[in-house]
Amino acid sequence: MSQDPLPFHEDPPWYKGVVLAVVVIPFLLTIWAFTTLWGQHAGWLELSLLIGMWIITGLGISVGYHRMLTHGAFQAHPAVRATFLAFGSMAMQDKPSDWAATHKRHHAHSDQEGDPHSPLEGFWHAHFGWLFRDRFVRSGPIYEQIRSDPIVRMIDRNYFHLILAGLLIPALIGGLVTLSWMGLWTGLLWGGFVRVFLGHHITWSVNSVTHMFGTRPYETTDKARNNAIVALLGFGEGWHNNHHAFPRAAYLGHAWYQIDPGRWTIKALEKLGLAWDVWMPDEDTRRNRRTST
């Protein structure tokens, strides 16, 4: 058998402990934040930090990691590439190159043997169980090709610093606005950990929920579905049947009512001259692939 271009990587046992901490700590802090702090130490400032950081890191994942880096849906100015990959890193979902290579494997084997996270192995496996089962791609020719971009290597190298920045920025804003240690802590909690928790489960829902629940306007070889709730929370990523039908398409919303904030972002970058070669199949090509409206 020829060499797998996207081989699974065997992580050392301690790494699974790190993953466990990354999954469990934001979860516990989120429960705590909601049960004990709401109303006492959470107000408009904390909510703004939560929403602001969710938008920045969510677009970093959808526009930067996914559409730009993994699928090459558009070209962008180096400063835009660096910025969106840095925002994506703050989401704590792996380094850009590892995320992109693992996701490419998902497309290459969608809902077949070898898919890192198909719900055919169970909903929870697809949601986050796969994180503990050596299903990451961190080597191989396609991984090396992703890393041939010096900007990607630079963000990869600074991944842990960027995670830290994603926690410290909301903490500092919280502390400086309120001039208190409590503001520093609640900024870290809501703009940092609660935001990481929500961002994780939104992205993981693309792997679990949108391969199980929703509509299938396009006939694809996998189980990918369009799910409006995941799309609303995930900056357009929930239009996952559209995405699997045309993985390289820059826009995941294919109809006017399919809200796609990632599309608005790319269009804005294009208007500013910061993005170009935005790829999208024309209406006829899409209509011919559709089995329903």
**Residue closer to Zn ion, measured from CB, 191 or 253:** 253
- Contact letters for Zn ion, residues 83-102 (x by CB under 5 A): --------------------
Q: How far is the CB of 150 from Zn ion (least distance, A)?
A: 24
**Residue closer to Zn ion, measured from CB, 168 or 229:** 229
Calculate the CA dihedral of residues 255, 259, 261, 264 and round it to 10 degrees.
Answer: 40
Q: How far is the CB of 106 from Zn ion (least distance, A)?
A: 6
Contacts with Zn ion by CB under 5 A: the residue count is: 1
Structure tokens at 214: 């929703």
Cβ atoms of 119 and 211 closer than 8 Å: yes
Neighbours of 60 (CB within 10 A): 26
Q: Is 183 exposed, middle or buried (0-12, 13-18, 19+ CB in 10 A)?
A: buried
- Contact letters for Zn ion, residues 118-137 (x by CB under 5 A): --------------------
Q: Tell me how far apart the alpha carbons of residues 269 and 277 are, in angstroms, rounded to a whole number.
A: 12
Residue whose beta carbon is closest to Zn ion = 224
**Residue closer to Zn ion, measured from CB, 186 or 203:** 203
Cβ atoms of 154 and 42 closer than 8 Å: no
Q: How far is the CB of 240 from Zn ion (least distance, A)?
A: 6
- Contact letters for Zn ion, residues 168-207 (x by CB under 5 A): ----------------------------------------
**Residue closer to Zn ion, measured from CB, 26 or 105:** 105
What lies within 8 Å, CB to CB, of 22 at 6+ separation is 92
- Contact letters for Zn ion, residues 221-240 (x by CB under 5 A): ---x----------------
Backbone angles phi, psi at 209, to 5 degrees: -60, -50
Residue 106's Cβ-side half-sphere holds a number of Cα atoms within 13 Å equal to 29
Q: How far is the CB of 119 from Zn ion (least distance, A)?
A: 10
Q: How far is the CB of 12 from Zn ion (least distance, A)?
A: 28
Three-class SS state of 235: coil
Chain contacts with Zn ion (rule: CB under 5 A)? 224
